[in-house]
Each structure stands twice: as C-alpha cells, then as structure tokens.
C-alpha cells in the first residue's frame, strides 16, 4: 500500500469566513495529486498551555493535535496579525509543541495576511522566531506576506491576484520539494 505524504495547515484565525482560512482553502487547489492536505480544525479546542497538565497523559485534544502533526510531513501556517503579534490561539497551539518535538526539523511555510499594506509583518517576524526556537525548517519561498488581502481573493476562496497566485504556487512547490527530498 502506498503511504501518501501529508501536509497539515493551521489557520491563526478561528473566525467564520476568515481570509486566512480562505487562503489555506485556496492552497488546496495547488496541491499535487497523491499528497494529503488538511486544515487542522481544532486549535480553538486546545486548553491554555500549562506545563502542569502536560506530561505522560496530556488532555486528549492535545494528544490528537500532536499526533496529527507527528504524522505530517510538512506544516503550512496562515495567520492574521493581532495587536502587532501572533493571535493568542495560534501561539497557544505552538506552545503545546515546544517540549513534545513534533515540528523538529519539519519543513514549514508561513503566510501572514492582512487588510493592511504591511501584510502582518510583525506577526510574521514573531512567528518565524517561534518556529526557529522549535527548530523547524522554513522552506524556500515559504515565507509570504499577503498585504491588502481583501482585494486579492474572492469570497469562495479563489485567488484573483495573479502575483499572489504565483507566490502561493511557488510556496506549495517548495513544500512539496522539501517533503519529497
Ligand atoms: C483584535 C484585533 C487586532 C488586530 N490587530 C491587527 C494588527 O496589529 N495588524 C493588522 O495588520 N491587522 C490587525 N487586525 C485586523 C486583522 O488583520 C483583520 O481583522 C483580518 O481580517 C483578520 O484575519 P481573518 O480574516 O483571517 O480573521 C486586527 C483585528 C482584530 C480583531
């Protein structure tokens, strides 16, 4: 039986109709056949990180999150910027992975998208620092800012801006190359 490579995606926005989640949905159209791609739906269920409840038997939602990432070959994060940083829900999810190591040397791509012209640059910078601490590998073309996001996508998660589309294709190509290496 052929085992498919798996890419997991995480949106830093848990908002219904999120533009960041829409970007991750749009990415699905660029994933080559034979590679599984899923947007992890559960980061909003994770409890606040607390070392006291981590250990041999962490909460089931945490164990499921870690298992999903352990079984993945690459991670794509797409997030808004909140108050010049990473949304708490995403930072909390990453905090759960610091000691357990599922992202160690894993290929990762990072997208920040914002209605502003800066494209969430502060969140982007902060996220890269966190991912560096987790010893991930940021793939070539895997660090993308999407400014003025509102005019670049249709509501049904299709890209209408050609250069954004090309940047997303390059990002996926790099992730796929990294997991096929
Ligand atoms: C509490 C809050 C703080 C925000 N802070 C920033 C910010 O610092 N920088 C920025 O570019 N946008 C900021 N925004 C605007 C978000 O980028 C915008 O709401 C975006 O659409 C959220 O992403 P989503 O559509 O994926 O939910 C903020 C929004 C909220 C609700």
Which whole number is the average pLDDT over 41-62? 96
On the question of pLDDT at 2 being above 80, the answer is no
- Give the tens place of pLDDT for each residue, 66-82: 999 999 999 999 999 99
> How many alpha carbons fall within 13 Å on the CB side of residue 14?
15
Predicted local confidence at residue 1, as pLDDT: 60
Predicted local confidence at residue 157, as pLDDT: 81
Q: Which helix (DSSP H) or strand (DSSP E) does residue 22 occupy?
A: helix 19-27
CA of 22 to the centre of ligand 1 (A): 15
> How many alpha carbons fall within 13 Å on the CB side of residue 156?
1
Crossing angle between the packed helical segments 121-133 and 88-95, to the nearest 10 degrees: 10
Predicted local confidence at residue 64, as pLDDT: 98
Angle, vertex CA 43, rays to CA 144 and CA 137, nearest 5: 40
Domains of the chain, earliest start first:
5-180 (3.40.50.360)
CB distance 99 to 58 below 8 Å? no
- Give the tens place of pLDDT for each residue, 140-172: 999 999 999 999 988 778 899 999 999 999 999
Whether ligand 1 lies within 6 angstroms of the CB of 120 is answered as: yes
CB distance 31 to 175 below 8 Å? no
Which whole number is the average pLDDT over 35-49? 97
Which whole number is the average pLDDT over 41-59? 96
Nearest CA to ligand 1 atom 23: 80
Q: What average pLDDT does the chain have?
A: 96
- Give the tens place of pLDDT for each residue, 97-131: 999 999 999 999 999 999 999 999 999 999 999 99
Exposure b/e, 123-152, CB count within 10 A at least 16 = b: bbebbbebbeebebebbebbbbbbbebeeb
Whether ligand 1 lies within 6 angstroms of the CB of 82 is answered as: yes
Compute the distance between CA of residue 155 and CA of residue 12 in angstroms, rounded to an integer.
18
Predicted local confidence at residue 155, as pLDDT: 75
CA of 23 to the centre of ligand 1 (A): 15
**Ligand 1 atom closest to Cα of 21?**
26
CA of 112 to the centre of ligand 1 (A): 11
CB distance 106 to 136 below 8 Å? yes
Predicted local confidence at residue 58, as pLDDT: 96
Nearest CA to ligand 1 atom 28: 82
């Amino acid at each position: 039986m052929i085992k498919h490579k798996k890419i997991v995606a995480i949106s830093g926005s848990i908002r219904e109709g999120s533009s960041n989640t829409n970007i991750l949905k749009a990415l699905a159209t660029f994933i080559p056949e034979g590679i599984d791609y899923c947007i992890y739906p559960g980061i909003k269920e994770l409890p606040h990180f607390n070392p006291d409840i981590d250990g041999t038997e962490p909460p089931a939602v945490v164990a499921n999150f870690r298992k999903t990432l352990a079984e993945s070959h690459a991670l794509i994060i797409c997030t808004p910027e909140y108050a010049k940083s990473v949304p708490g829900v995403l930072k909390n999810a990453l905090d759960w992975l610091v000691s357990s190591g599922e992202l160690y040397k894993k290929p990762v791509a990072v997208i920040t998208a914002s209605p502003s012209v800066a494209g969430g640059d502060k969140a982007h910078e902060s996220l890269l620092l966190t991912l560096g601490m987790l010893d991930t590998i940021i793939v070539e073309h895997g660090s993308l800012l999407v400014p003025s996001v509102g005019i670049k996508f249709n509501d049904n998660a299709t890209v209408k801006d050609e250069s954004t589309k090309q940047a997303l294709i390059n990002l996926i190509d790099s992730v796929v190359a990294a997991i096929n290496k």
